[in-house]
């Protein structure tokens, strides 16, 4: 695949029908519940890229699932379950931001055990934060139980999430229930275009991962000051013949004051964000990364676009 990355307009695929659905799904669940396994199962066979190095110790999982009728962007939301994050407000803020951008929240629970404090806390948070965004429950590890026991645990876990639109027993390991889960997710997603054409999926995945990684570092280090008004646009992502990846990104904020915060005193903050994002991307891609970051003020960008602007792609013009 060629890596010409400059013309964003050509990235938009217009070969989708009026019934096509698409959107971003925030995947939530505590560690070990099976998020990686599930995302790999869903995305792995289809396009092979979740992160370029699957099955590593990476916590974050991102994946694009494409069928003729739908495209789903799965994104892990570390705020609700990553122990390395500061707890409290930070956690809520991350989750809020992930939920605000998501078109659907997929909650993974382990149906092989009774729900505990972690699940109760998660349920309270999601109840507070999901707003209009539909919530789907995946009751994972259903292969470990059967009969009455399975039913009892399924009921106990589901009962904590009365606001969920759908519930589905699945096994990420055997694949049981996964097609039904996907069908339910797709049904709840808005009508919309295919964001990434099939032949550009791996490039799109790299861009998506790069943008999300930079955004995560911003959220992590800017505390309260930068709420939800950050968008990261990967202007270009080029793989050079020598294997080096050149990534050029623009961080959009809504106000001058926010620009100052992201850049920091003497450029300290932006350096830190860049260095951490670069290190993480190098681990994921196994390549040398040059990451160029710039910060621009764009007032009210979130009023026009949601996912599109976040990913750096433009919506079709009115007359198209
Ligand atoms: P994550 O921390 O939520 O990403 O969880 P992982 O995907 O890394 O899975 C944690 C462990 O649970 C791994 O050993 C998986 O093999 C196992 N696991 C995940 N899904 C299932 C499932 O459906 N059934 C069984 N039996 N094990 C599972
Ligand atoms: Mg995982």
Ligand closest to Cα of 61 equals 2
The number of the ligand 1 atom at minimal distance from the alpha carbon of 144 is 26
Mutate to test the pocket of ligand 1, among 172, 176, 177 (most ligand atoms within 8 A of CB): 172
pLDDT tens figures, 130-168: 888 999 999 999 999 999 999 999 999 999 999 999 999
Strands (E) located in the chain: 21-28, 62-66, 70-76, 104-110, 135-140, 166-169, 231-239, 245-253, 289-297
* Sign (positive or negative) of CA dihedral 103, 212, 28, 167: positive
Instruction: Enumerate residues lining ligand 1, CB below 6 A.
Output: 29, 31-37, 140-141, 143-144, 171-173
* Sign (positive or negative) of CA dihedral 231, 301, 192, 185: positive
The number of the ligand 1 atom at minimal distance from the alpha carbon of 108 is 3
Calculate how far, in angstroms, residue 28's C-alpha sits from the geometric centre of ligand 1.
14
| Beta bridge mates, 306 | none
The number of the ligand 1 atom at minimal distance from the alpha carbon of 61 is 4
pLDDT tens figures, 77-111: 654 444 433 444 545 555 666 677 789 999 999 99
- pLDDT higher than threshold 50 for residue 228: yes
Distance CA 320, CA 277 (A): 36
Q: Which residues make up the environment of ion ligand 2, defined by Cβ < 5 Å?
A: 35-36
């Amino acid at each position: 695949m060629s890596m010409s990355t400059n013309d964003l307009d050509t990235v938009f695929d217009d070969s989708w029908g009026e019934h096509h659905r698409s959107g971003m799904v925030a995947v939530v669940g505590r560690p070990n519940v099976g998020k990686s396994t599930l995302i790999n199962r869903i995305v792995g066979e289809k396009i092979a890229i979740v992160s370029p190095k699957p099955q590593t110790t990476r916590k974050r999982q991102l994946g694009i699932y494409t069928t003729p009728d739908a495209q789903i962007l799965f994104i892990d939301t570390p705020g609700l379950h990553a122990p390395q994050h500061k707890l409290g407000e930070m956690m809520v803020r991350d989750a809020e931001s992930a939920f605000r951008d998501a078109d659907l929240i997929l909650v993974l629970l382990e149906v092989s055990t009774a729900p505990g404090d972690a699940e109760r806390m998660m349920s309270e948070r999601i109840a507070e934060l999901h707003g209009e965004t539909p919530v789907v429950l995946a009751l994972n590890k259903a292969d470990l139980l059967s009969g009455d026991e399975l039913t009892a645990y399924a009921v106990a876990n589901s009962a904590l999430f009365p606001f969920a639109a759908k519930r589905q027993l699945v096994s990420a390991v055997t694949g049981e229930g996964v097609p039904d889960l996907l069908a339910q997710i797709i049904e709840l997603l808005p009508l919309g275009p295919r964001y990434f054409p099939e032949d550009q999926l791996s490039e799109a995945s790299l861009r998506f991962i790069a943008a999300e990684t930079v955004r995560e570092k911003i959220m992590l280090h800017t505390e309260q000051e930068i709420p939800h008004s950050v968008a990261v646009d990967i202007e270009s992502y080029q793989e050079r013949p020598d294997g080096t990846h050149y990534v050029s990104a623009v961080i959009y904020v809504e106000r001058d004051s926010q620009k100052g915060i992201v850049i920091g005193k003497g450029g300290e903050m932006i350096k830190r964000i860049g260095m951490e994002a670069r290190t993480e991307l190098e681990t994921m891609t196994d390549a040398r990364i040059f990451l160029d970051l710039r910060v621009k003020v764009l007032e009210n960008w979130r009023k026009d676009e949601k996912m599109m602007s976040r990913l750096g792609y433009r919506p079709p013009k009115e007359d198209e």
